[in-house]
Chain A
Amino acid sequence: MRATLFDKLWDQHVVTSREDGLDLLWIDRHFLHEGSHHAFAKLAARNMKPARPDLSFAVADHYVPTRHRAEGIADATIKRMVDQLSTNTATNGIRLFGMNDPRQGIVHVLGPEQGLTLPGLSIVCGDSHTSTHGAFGALAFGIGASDVAHVLMTQTLWQKRPKRMRLTVNVHLAPGIAAKDLALAVIARIGADGAQGCALEFAGSAIRALSMEGRLTLCNMGVEAGARSALVAPDAVTLAYVTGRPFAPTGEALERAATAWARLISDDDAVFDREVTMNASEIAPIVTWGISPEDALPVTAALPDPTREANAGKAAHIIAALDYMGLRAGQPVSEIMVDRVFIGSCTNSRIEDLRAAAAVLAGRKSRVPGLVSPGSSLVKQQAEQEGLNQIFTEAGLEWADSGCSMCVAMNGDGLAPGERCASTTNRNFKGRQGVGSRTHLMSPAMVAAAAVMGHLADVRPLLEGRV
């Protein structure tokens, strides 16, 4: 007893422990993408092969084009990155969901969709948003290239047990308020480093009421609060999602799994290093205005004024952020005009996200150009069956293929210097969506509202009579 969900997961994966406090963890799933080339180079330098190629899965997502795929990849560098992944995975006997695979998608969308992500697993990937998979009650965290190489060589990783933090969100989110709003409200509250060094468990009635899609969005953003991993205890919603997925257990194995998963909860008397409680009903639609996800405010608010900030470091940050974003202190958030919109990324590109945006856009026109990139080729297919693509294109937005796209601007999709984008992604860092790009993070419905209005806008009036 007295164990947190996190400790239960951790303890099940400890192979051995070292005197200095490091545990050697067994890794159940390892995801790779084009960026893994540094790790494959390390493997080759040691003349080694993967210890368990059957537990690694690769996907082409970061660099793949989202338009005209059938014509191949025109840009030589991008082509080399995508081809290199094919070569590296083929040489090492690792399964690849390549660019033209019908199941291709963003790694953090594909894993859950294929049933590779399950409760109770340890999951790593050379990508910080691996925290996403914690939505299933899995021990999931991002790692760097040296550690990716270590996992390839040994299927294990030396780790120090992080601290445990629990964020309890009571009551329920109001209509029109999404998991993304909750995530941004959390980060605004605790800071972009608020959960550093911690495994962050989300609990409470507002979390239980979230769909898997919502939980994935929330855990995805956990890393933007600095968390090492994010977690939601598995429940009936989780089991229903997992059941029937291609790589998920079936029959007796599934029954045994479900019994084990039911135990994956924090005990009533479990002790956390830090606890924070929030009330979901107080959360309004949130947008970011600055260059860190913690620079987040309700859309109804006004921008901060550095002269009113006592802390010198914070005041300097506000000045730098306003300057970079081309905004002025005290300006109402809803006056911020946008040049472009983007709906996509591992944060908000699942079917529910596309439905939420389409609900706002149906029968309306976007005042600005924009791109909609579904999280996976299967999400794309489903959205087309539901006719969502038509709503987007009739609104004037471009309906593209699946990939990281404008989230990280590695594949050629991006903003021009100074352009301002309402985006469903997870990072508003300087230059994230291209050199000099200006990003405002928000939910898919809020991005749709910004498209319809041409400026950052409260989506709630636009939803009247629609939901």
Chain B
Amino acid sequence: MQEFVRLTAAAVPLPYANIDTDQLIPARFMSRPRSQGYGDFLLHDRRKEAGFQLDDPAYRGAAIAVARRNFGGGSSREAAVYALVDAGIRCVIAPSFGDIFAANAANNGLLAARVTEDAAEDLLARLLASPSEVTVDLQSCLIDGHTQFEVEPVARIKLLRGWEDIDLTLSHADAIAAFTRADGERRPWAVPVTRAF
């Protein structure tokens, strides 16, 4: 996974609340393997709307997106994150994010940066008035050196180091084995009864 430390890039304003994962990638595209790339599916059905900012040449090459509250709510589809990442987006700035979306983002090197509603409105107004670059620094958790953002501490560490959980988990094999032994005594009813098959 690619690490995320600091990014200066063009930013695209998406002045909408509740951009859910069904909008981020409509369900009908999710049968494709990731290797085919998901970037073209990003916000596929909304891109047809007149004036939709994603395809506005003024924001071409954006690697940062700014939106209103509840970005990525809804379905757990990690494909929503694949679509963003494959379209070149490395950071989304919004007042709130769907929980599963935020977890999926961290697992794919995408920063979900939480700001206040006012900060999001300021940034949206600025970008809508004149397209410009934005700098996001994950060390200091500052946007353009002055606007504070929040990110789950664990997501921050994962992103800074470019970690995947699995290698770490496998190193805990002994602890897992000990847990299952003790748990078998404590909760013998927790394993499914197999006579059913």
Residue of A nearest to B120 (CB): A313
Q: Which of A14-22, A177-185, A328-336, A380-388 contacts B (4 or more CB under 8 A)?
A: A14-22
Query: What separation, in Å, do the CA atoms of A77 and B28 have in the docked complex?
Result: 10
Q: Which of A165-173, A233-241, A340-348, A424-432 contacts B (4 or more CB under 8 A)?
A: A424-432
Contacts of B45 in A (CB 8 A): 430-431, 435-436
Contacts of A77 in B (CB 8 A): 31
Does B162 lie at the interface of the complex (its beta carbon under 8 Å from any beta carbon of A)? Answer: no
Does B69 lie at the interface of the complex (its beta carbon under 8 Å from any beta carbon of A)? Answer: yes
Within B126-172, which residues are at the interface with A (CB < 8 Å)?
152-154, 157, 164-166, 168-170, 172
* Contact code string A134-150 (vs B, CB < 8 Å = 1, else 0): 00000001111111011
The reply to whether B22 and A20 contact each other, CB–CB distance below 8 Å, is: no
Does A267 lie at the interface of the complex (its beta carbon under 8 Å from any beta carbon of B)? Answer: no
The reply to whether B74 and A158 contact each other, CB–CB distance below 8 Å, is: no
The reply to whether B34 and A38 contact each other, CB–CB distance below 8 Å, is: yes
Contacts of B104 in A (CB 8 A): 144-147
Query: Given A16-B172, A38-B34, A429-B23 in contact, is the A249-B69 Cβ separation under 8 Å?
Result: no
Tally of contact residues, B, Cβ under 8 A: 64
Does A41 lie at the interface of the complex (its beta carbon under 8 Å from any beta carbon of B)? Answer: yes
Tally of contact residues, A, Cβ under 8 A: 86
Among A24, A28, A78, contact of B172 (Cβ-Cβ < 8 Å):
A24
Residue of B nearest to A404 (CB): B27
The reply to whether B153 and A249 contact each other, CB–CB distance below 8 Å, is: no
The reply to whether A24 and B175 contact each other, CB–CB distance below 8 Å, is: yes
The reply to whether B121 and A313 contact each other, CB–CB distance below 8 Å, is: yes
Contacts of B20 in A (CB 8 A): 292, 427, 429-430
Among B97, B100, B166, contact of A128 (Cβ-Cβ < 8 Å):
B100
Q: Which of A250-258, A273-281, A297-305, A451-459 contacts B (4 or more CB under 8 A)?
A: A250-258
The reply to whether A81 and B31 contact each other, CB–CB distance below 8 Å, is: yes
Contacts of A409 in B (CB 8 A): 27-28
Query: Given A81-B31, A114-B196, A146-B107 in contact, is the A256-B46 Cβ separation under 8 Å?
Result: no
The reply to whether B175 and A35 contact each other, CB–CB distance below 8 Å, is: no
Among B69, B183, B187, B189, contact of A254 (Cβ-Cβ < 8 Å):
B189
CB distance from A137 to the nearest CB of B (A): 13
The reply to whether A431 and B23 contact each other, CB–CB distance below 8 Å, is: yes
Among B22, B31, B189, contact of A118 (Cβ-Cβ < 8 Å):
B189
The reply to whether A144 and B76 contact each other, CB–CB distance below 8 Å, is: yes
The reply to whether A292 and B153 contact each other, CB–CB distance below 8 Å, is: no
The reply to whether A313 and B17 contact each other, CB–CB distance below 8 Å, is: yes
Does B55 lie at the interface of the complex (its beta carbon under 8 Å from any beta carbon of A)? Answer: no
Query: Given A35-B77, A291-B18, A317-B18 in contact, is the A41-B98 Cβ separation under 8 Å?
Result: no
* Contact code string A62-101 (vs B, CB < 8 Å = 1, else 0): 0100000000000001101100000000000001000000
Query: What separation, in Å, do the CA atoms of A308 and B196 have in the docked complex?
Result: 59
Query: What separation, in Å, do the CA atoms of A57 and B197 have in the docked complex?
Result: 12
15 pairs of residues in contact across A and B, judged by CB atoms under 8 Å: A26-B179, A26-B183, A115-B196, A120-B187, A142-B76, A145-B78, A145-B79, A153-B166, A192-B73, A247-B193, A253-B189, A257-B187, A257-B189, A260-B187, A317-B18
**5 nearest CB pairs, A to B:** A144-B104, A144-B78, A257-B189, A146-B107, A246-B196
